[in-house]
Structure 1
């Protein structure tokens, strides 16, 4: 890895020093910290979550583990509770779609508080933040399907926040997405869509501060991030596949770039999403919603939107830049002896390019996103909702 710095602080993985769990345990005792894992019950049948649990057994001093669980029955929730029962700190299984939670949040909807979101990761993250922030000053989020999870992941993600003298409020992961099964490059949405899309938008609009900010992140779609309680409580949470980009927009709104860091986690693998046969499936649906999130951020932060011929220009530019990326990743894979299917990568770029116009039209018909309100706003209206939600989510 290089040693370059940019707009936001980059914490490299030089491989010289082994991340110390002893140091992490000591730091955890100084500042209450929660880990948040949004999860669907089917993850309990896969080996990744067992690996994660085995690592978490070593994190003595953690204030709390919050599992934001989507489950179909009390039996599944009890199985999840039993799965984590041996951890040496409190574990809160929040049944995010339990009848009691749905009843509670719908009741508040009738009172004008928009907290009943679309079921999914965003809704789970929002509930998890509400639960974790009751007792913790630092919250880190990890997905439940990480096949390469190791002690260095929480150690490297949390350390910049636990060392309060650096003033860091938000930490984002970046990594090399490589399949454990095939050794091939993964992360097509980041490599072949977001990267060339941001380059194309920069060619159209110029070096806007918001675009420079997004391009400063080496893996903007990483689902692993950590933040201080004060920041977490003020973030609106998107409810679609634009979650990660939408959260970056929220962070940009609330904190200076000097208080943001990105951390190299090394080799990383988790579940892979198919590209999908139709625009409303798989990675195609995901990328359409990511595009909408980026467009919304340009409106909010720069007062910019694509007009008329600019959309056709974007389509042409994106496709050319995407094809350039395919060539670059082909050379990268060749020298590193990684398998690479250039034809499939080029087909992915073509499918992504064909999404831009219909996605733009859909966005313009309804530019406001479905977002859950920040917890600071919620608590201004209903100061007991965190406690009530925790009770409703338990069995």
Structure 2
């Protein structure tokens, strides 16, 4: 049994049930808590979201569930609202790309806030946090495609935050990514890219604190995490596939490591990405953006820059460490009776290695990256924008544009906009 601790406090799964559900539900009542699910409309056609809904129906004491939804029409938003209509707590379906939201976010550009970015999970998380943090003290985030969702997921993720005496401000999930169909190991971006990359960088630049921090997470790319509202409100949100690593960088910047925990959720399965045929597709694109995020964070936190003459060393080291990891995961799979495609994983390492040089060259040419501003900064520009966004994301606001001639305003009065959305 693994009971080891390290730099990051680790909450293991020892196979026992832990605190009784009644205690957990009382903790939810005592500390206002919201769950956030970034969601595409296509998820409503899959069984995973129905499973999540079934599990969450048994959750008592939750303050709210926020669905950050990307949809193409009012009809789709109404369908999503009907899907969640019978929940035992308030559900806020927030239409992230709705016309009222788009116009509101356009209008605040005059304040120096550029918050209209390419749609994606980062943009949905940023909007969802704005909505969820209005009243909650704790916010937990889960993806909408989890096929193994159980009552233990929210319980284990949230409990370290619900007990104020722990001092924990941020919780990150880790798990064993296994395919429900084949039982093969998944999570290639973590196993075959991020792990070998961090190990290789450490050999080149030394055991820097930030690298040690990242390597302490069992699953740094896990998309499931929770935090206190005061922390969530101060995080800049990355807009690309570097979201998870970028958020870890933001947490590192704002929180003492003693206030961070990681929680074992057991066996986990959700949608799997293909490797991709080009560097701009699938896991290849993800790996490139993750690499740039890691190296940019090394610049910010450690003042460390990878030199051009170190590129060949990184390429050689990454290939060696990646091949070693393939062998290790092959043995792990064999002893556990799991299928393992060694040739396919060797090819993945080869393809990832070919991304290193162009990604680093691109970073050197463009070291800055677009990030959505923290909500604390947003509110310093406009105290009413949080409420205005929540109101604009409601389905009933979809027709407000045609009835509110004062909607687009070079100097937006967000309080007035919020009132007009609610009235609509």
User: Does TM-score exceed 0.5, indicating one fold?
Assistant: yes
- The one-character-per-residue Cα deviations of 1:241-279 (angstroms, maximum 9, x if unpaired) are 000000000000000000000000000000000000111
2: CA distance, partners of 1:20 / 1:187: 32
2: CA distance, partners of 1:71 / 1:158: 29
Pairwise CA distance, 1:110:
2.9
1: CA distance, partners of 2:211 / 2:202: 7
Pairwise CA distance, 1:167:
0.2
2: CA distance, partners of 1:36 / 1:383: 22
Partner of 1:81: 81
Residue 5 in structure 1 maps to residue 16 in structure 2: no
- The one-character-per-residue Cα deviations of 1:6-37 (angstroms, maximum 9, x if unpaired) are 00100000003355322211110100000000
> Does the aligned pair in 2 maintain the 1:77–1:95 contact within 8 Å?
yes
Residue 331 in structure 1 maps to residue 328 in structure 2: no
Q: Counterparts in 2 of 1:19-58, with a 5 A limit?
A: 20-58=20-58
> Does the aligned pair in 2 maintain the 1:21–1:151 contact within 8 Å?
no
Secondary structure of residue in 2 paired with 1:29: helix
Residue 379 in structure 1 maps to residue 375 in structure 2: no
Pairwise CA distance, 1:77:
0.3
Partner of 2:304: 304
Pairwise CA distance, 1:172:
0.1
1: CA distance, partners of 2:89 / 2:352: 45
Partner of 1:391: 391
2: CA distance, partners of 1:166 / 1:174: 20
Pairwise CA distance, 1:137:
0.1
Pairwise CA distance, 1:345:
0.2
Partner of 1:366: 366
Partner of 2:130: 130
Pairwise CA distance, 1:117:
2.1
1: CA distance, partners of 2:380 / 2:336: 54
- The one-character-per-residue Cα deviations of 1:157-176 (angstroms, maximum 9, x if unpaired) are 00000011010000000000
Partner of 1:190: 190
- The one-character-per-residue Cα deviations of 1:281-304 (angstroms, maximum 9, x if unpaired) are 100000000001001110000001
Structure 1 residues not aligned, in runs of 5+:
none
> Does the aligned pair in 2 maintain the 1:20–1:155 contact within 8 Å?
no
Q: What is the aligned length? A: 395
TM-score of the pair, normalised by structure 1: 0.99
Structure 2 residues not aligned, in runs of 5+:
396-424
> Does the aligned pair in 1 maintain the 2:111–2:381 contact within 8 Å?
no
Q: Counterparts in 2 of 1:118-267, with a 5 A limit?
A: 118-267=118-267
1: CA distance, partners of 2:291 / 2:20: 39
2: CA distance, partners of 1:278 / 1:36: 32
Report the RMSD for the aligned CA atoms in angstroms.
0.7
Secondary structure of residue in 2 paired with 1:69: strand
> Does the aligned pair in 2 maintain the 1:19–1:152 contact within 8 Å?
no
TM-score of the pair, normalised by structure 2: 0.92
Pairwise CA distance, 1:111:
2.7
Partner of 1:320: 320
> Does the aligned pair in 2 maintain the 1:35–1:139 contact within 8 Å?
yes
Partner of 1:272: 272
1: CA distance, partners of 2:130 / 2:48: 26
Distance change (3 Å), C-alpha of 1:320 and 1:362: same
